[in-house]
Amino acid sequence: MSSSDKRARLEAVFALAPVIPVITIDDASQAVPLARALVSGGLRVIEITLRTQAGFDAARAIISDVPEAKVGIGTVLTPADYEHAAKLGAAFAISPGMSIDLLEAANAGELPFAPGIQTPSDLIACVTRGYELVKFFPAVPAGGLAALDALAGPFPNVRFCPTGGINAGNAAQWLAHKKVVAIGGSWVAPAADIKAGAWAVIEQRAREATRLR
């Protein structure tokens, strides 16, 4: 599959909802009720991070039991992470950064991948390998909307999924940017609410997030 085809698939997934909940989960048994709450609230695209040992098991459970959800694997750091995500049946993989090994592994694979960038040099490495939809991370600490404007200038074909420091209070500003296809954020389903099983609260936040764009 060509780079343009994988980018088109990734854009189609990101277009399903303006906000992608970034999930850090410790107990995989909570993954399915969590996903059902998010989908019921209107957020079908879910990033399950590999920040905990439960990440892959949680993603596997959602893919199996909540077919309406589009599950992405986040915190992909190595080619092995990427390959595991592909074998799992994820809809996409996404990383907080990039390495040449990871870019090339994803180029050789079929699973759509969004590398993480923060600098022009990061973007050159990505664009020259066919990646024009990237994660801008950490979006707010890295300079916010002003930094995104500066990066977008020399790279007019690149589109972004900013993540990091984005919350209910500033999300609409990010979504209004013409180069932003979606945003990622942990505020919709924070770890404390997941541990507490606060599914109704999470569903309501998801519903509010769908109205941001």
66 in Cβ contact with 39 (< 8 Å): yes
34 in Cβ contact with 64 (< 8 Å): no
Classify burial at 147, counting beta carbons within 10 Å of its beta carbon; exposed 0-12, middle 13-18, buried 19 or more: middle
Report the distance separating Cα 29 and Cα 116, nearest Å: 29
Report the distance separating Cα 23 and Cα 130, nearest Å: 28
Q: Which residues are catalytic?
A: 47, 135
